[in-house]
Amino acid sequence: MVKVEIVKDSHDVVTSFRLEGHTEYDDYGKDIVCAGVSALVQTALVGLLNYLEQKPIYEREAGFLSCYLAEGLNDEDAFKVQIILGTMEMGLREIEYKYKDFIELKIRRC
């Protein structure tokens, strides 16, 4: 099972996200759940890296990705973060709804 955690502050602003594990829905190269989750998360990271002035800190390796956003984002970057990561969250919720045995999405408030 792949586990995704999205961390939000008291204002419902995403401060970080993390993905760990493998869905094991199907064999490597045929796993549509893994492909969908990976596409959403990696595209969100690419969007953050390309559109934000204050770049996130991230780590990526097989079966793992973590991303931490800079503190004190300016208003424009904060808006972009919410659009990009809000879209990622909606996509992950759809996958979790249809494939709940293979993905766990957790929202943590801090």
Q: Which pLDDT tens digit goes with each residue over 17-65?
A: 999 999 999 998 899 999 999 999 999 999 999 999 999 999 999 999 9
Give, in order, the Cα–Cα distances in Å from 77 to each of 6, 19, 37.
18, 22, 24
Tell if the pTM clears 0.85, that is, is over it.
yes
Distance CA 110, CA 104 (A): 19
Which tens digits make up the pLDDT trace of 2-14?
999 999 999 888 9
**Residue 50, both tokens:** 């390309």
Nearest residue to 92 via CA among 11, 48, 33, 29: 33
Strand partners, 18: 5, 66
Q: Where are the domains of the chain?
A: 2-109
CATH number of 2-109: 3.30.70.1490
**Residue 95, both tokens:** 């996958």
Q: Write down the pLDDT at residue 11.
A: 87
- Identity of residue 48: L
